[in-house]
Structure 1
Amino acid sequence: MPLLHISMRAGKPDAYRQAILDGLYRAMREALNVPEGDEFMTISEHDPANFRCGNAYGVERSEDAVLIQITVFASRTPEQKKALYRRIAELLGENPGIRPEDVFVNVLDAPGENWSVGHGLAQFA
């Protein structure tokens, strides 16, 4: 049950943002075996004055950089995460055309008891 937060500069059309959401969902389905309909994602758009990505770690980022933070159950393997990173970069490169250098992904592991998916219950504790 991944929870995604995507941050990017404001100004891209709806189709561009929808392509990001679609690509991320597809990557999670393929790399993490996320079930169908497990889509909990938000996009936050920021004015240029409120969004900055440096060129640290030998990566030359452009103004089209997207910051993707994914919180998952603490059961994902390093191999699954590596496959996820690759697949996200591939799919976002295909549509909406984001350069791999502009895809920044951070995965946070959370134990099952940290999740309530509705009804005020800890379904995974």
Structure 2
Amino acid sequence: MPLVRIDVVEGRRSAEQLRLLADTVQEVLLDVFAAPPRDRYQVLTEHRPGQLICEDTGLGIERTDDLVVLQVFQQGRSDEQKRALYAGLCQRLGEATGLAPGDLVVSVVGNTRADWSFGLGRAQFLDGDL
């Protein structure tokens, strides 16, 4: 049940392009993490130019204002699955949206079943609802 934050620079993409970006991220999660189809939790935030700062960490990666930063909160995925996620996102976002490989930054954040509430003030995993 990944929760994905998608951060982009404001004004660089139309509403349709933003939806395609989010849809493509979801498709990759379904393929690589085997997430259930209706487990879609995405927060898309546009930042004013200059408010999304990502250096190259000394790796010589070229970045533009088309930058996309993804944070994927999830549980129980292996290092192999995470590597497949990074590669799949880079490839599929490039194909679907034209995103350059250097303009994608991904961080996978681990958590546990106790870290989720899907509403109603309850811990559905802990309560046995899921």
Normalised-by-shorter TM-score class: over 0.9
Query: What are the superposed Cα offsets for residues 14-40 of structure 1, whole Å, 9 maximum, x if unpaired?
Result: 111011101100000000000011110
Aligned residue in 2 for 1:50? 51
C-alpha deviation, 1:89, in angstroms: 0.7
C-alpha deviation, 1:58, in angstroms: 2.4
Count of aligned pairs between the two proteins: 124
C-alpha deviation, 1:4, in angstroms: 0.7
Gaps of 5+ in 2: none
Aligned residue in 2 for 1:90? 91
Question: With structure 1 as the length reference, what TM-score do the two structures score?
Answer: 0.94
Query: What are the superposed Cα offsets for residues 42-74 of structure 1, whole Å, 9 maximum, x if unpaired?
Result: 11101113222222232111111111001001x
Output the CA distance in 2 between the equivalents of 1:49 and 1:58: 20
Output the CA distance in 1 between the equivalents of 2:69 and 2:7: 5
Query: Given residue 7 of structure 1, which amino acid in structure 2 is its aligned partner?
Result: D
SS at match of 1:42: strand
Aligned residue in 1 for 2:63? 61
Output the CA distance in 2 between the equivalents of 1:124 and 1:87: 28
1:119 and 2:116 are equivalent in the alignment? no
Aligned residue in 2 for 1:108? 109
What is the aligned-residue RMSD (CA, Å)?
1.1
What percent identity do the matched residue pairs reach? Answer: 32
C-alpha deviation, 1:119, in angstroms: 2.4
Query: Given residue 85 of structure 1, which amino acid in structure 2 is its aligned partner?
Result: Y
Native 8 Å contact 1:19 1:92 kept in 2: no
Output the CA distance in 1 between the equivalents of 2:54 and 2:82: 22
